[in-house]
């Protein structure tokens, strides 16, 4: 099992924000998305396992966004960014850092987003099955 907390303001830009260049029909990442990817990779690198995990995995993630207005610590966040899009960017970054061979190995995914006094991203990865 791998478990850690990355103390940071989680990115609000997501994987879904790629753009299309219609001249040459290619996708590209806007600078905000490149910065978010770089930020995540930089933080994740500190927790990279010595060897890539193999087999089916369970990924548990808690996105903890900085408090705003009348929110309460631990209250579920029901505003953007969309959880699935934020999660896709995180999983792509974890793949490129070397947590596993392919994010298709994630057979169980539990992710939530909250308002929090201490912003960051809590991550736990565990092997499941046989």
Task: Quote the pLDDT of residue 17.
Answer: 53
In which region does residue 128 sit, left (phi positive, over 0), alpha (psi from -120 to 50) or beta (all else)?
beta
Give the SS3 label for residue 35: helix
pLDDT tens figures, 59-105: 999 999 999 989 999 999 999 999 998 999 999 999 999 999 999 99
Residue bearing the bigger pLDDT, 13 or 10 = 10
Report the C-alpha gap between 64 and 66 in whole angstroms: 7
Name the pTM for this structure. 0.89
pLDDT tens figures, 72-85: 999 999 999 999 98
């Amino acid at each position: 099992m791998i478990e850690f907390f990355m103390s940071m303001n989680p990115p609000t830009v997501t994987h879904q924000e790629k753009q299309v260049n219609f001249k040459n029909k290619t996708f590209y990442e806007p600078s905000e998305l490149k910065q978010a990817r770089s930020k995540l990779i930089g933080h994740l690198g500190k927790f990279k396992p010595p060897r890539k995990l193999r087999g089916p995995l369970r990924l548990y993630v808690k996105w903890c966004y900085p408090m705003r207005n009348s929110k309460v610590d631990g209250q579920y966040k029901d505003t953007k960014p969309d959880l699935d899009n934020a999660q896709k960017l995180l999983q792509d970054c974890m793949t490129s850092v070397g947590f596993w061979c392919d994010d298709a190995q994630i057979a169980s995914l539990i992710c939530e987003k909250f308002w929090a006094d201490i912003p960051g991203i809590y991550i736990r990865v565990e092997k499941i099955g046989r």
